[in-house]
Structure 1
Amino acid sequence: MTFRLLVTLTLILGLAACSTRLNPFNWFGNDREERVEVVETVTVVDPRPLVSQVISLNVDPHPGGAIIRAMGLPPRQGYWAADLVEVERAEGRLVFEFRVFEPPVATREGTQRSREILAGTELSTQELDGVRTIVVQAQSNRRSVSRR
């Protein structure tokens, strides 16, 4: 009787924790898109332009922090050296710009799949402390994920 009660109680508490902040897989939900038009300023520290658009954003938890992955779509093939550059950290919001170098020569547009470029960064648990929303910004849109 006691064993059965203990197993039942463990299952109930375990399943209840699945939808709380204690479960690291619930840290960040699905990404959502917002259309924007970014105007570059002269005070940009990074010489690379913003990618045209961000088509996906994922935050994958791992022991000790999380990995942020964003997929960008430049206007044509050949863009390289993609990075997520942190530009703002305030009020529980962490903002990155998706920056890439343009190809040195003229290139074809190609298919969407052939133009996709991936950038990522790793953040420790301490760096994520207090962060409720992560935003990745491109030239024509931004994507964000929020903690559940």
Structure 2
Amino acid sequence: MVLTGCSGASLNPLDWFGPKDDIELVTLEPKDGWDAVDYDYRGPIAQVTQLSVERASGGYIIRAVGNPPRLGYWEAELVPENDEVPVKGVMTYNFMVAPPPWATATSRPQARQIHVAHYVSDVKLGGARSIRVVGANNSVTARP
């Protein structure tokens, strides 16, 4: 007698919380999936302060030091431009860092320093005459 008042209710518990056949589900997932989203939340470091290129087995190690505006920056990387192909004899890298997720102190420049390194093979270096590392406010160039 109680169920007679529920004219459109389904007695199947599997249908209680699921979608009906005539309802289209909407999702926030990107069409090509989450892995296809190419979003880099990092930005260029404020200032590149040092750059050195050291010979290594089969290539070179590019070492750079930079200063962000405050403490807490992380996930530093030298990101190559042009798929590590030299342009007019110059191989360019962007010094990228992730900002801290919270407010941090400014502190002294020595405390904020971030060191990063990147290996490049002789084959990729090709005919490059110089290596340039770019920050937000400056760039530094060195010769291999």
Distance in structure 1 (CA, Å) of the matches to 2:91 and 2:66: 18
**Alignment correspondent of 2:104:** 107
Matches within 5 A, 1:1-148: 46-88=40-82, 89-147=86-144
Alpha-carbon deviation of 1:101? 0.3
Greater share of strand:
1
Greater displacement, 119-128 / 85-94: 85-94
Amino acid of the structure 2 residue aligned with 1:84: L
The one-letter amino acid paired with 1:106 is A
Q: What TM-score, normalized to structure 1?
A: 0.67
In the aligned structure 2, how far is the partner of 1:92 from the partner of 1:69?
19
Aligned length: 104
Structure 1 CA distance for aligned equivalents of residues 135 and 39 of structure 2: 16
Aligned Cα RMSD in Å?
1.5
Q: Which has the larger radius of gyration?
A: 2
TM-score (norm 2): 0.68
List runs of 5+ in structure 1 lacking aligned partners. 1-43
- Runs of 5+ unmatched residues, structure 2: 1-37
By relative contact order (CA 8 Å, sep 6+), the higher-ranking structure is: 1
Write 1 or 2 for the structure with the bigger share of helix: 1
Counterpart of 1:90 in 2: which secondary structure?
coil
Note if contact 2:53-2:143 (Cα within 8 Å) is conserved in structure 1.
no
Kindly state the Cα deviation for residue 45 of structure 1 after the two structures are TM-superposed.
5.8
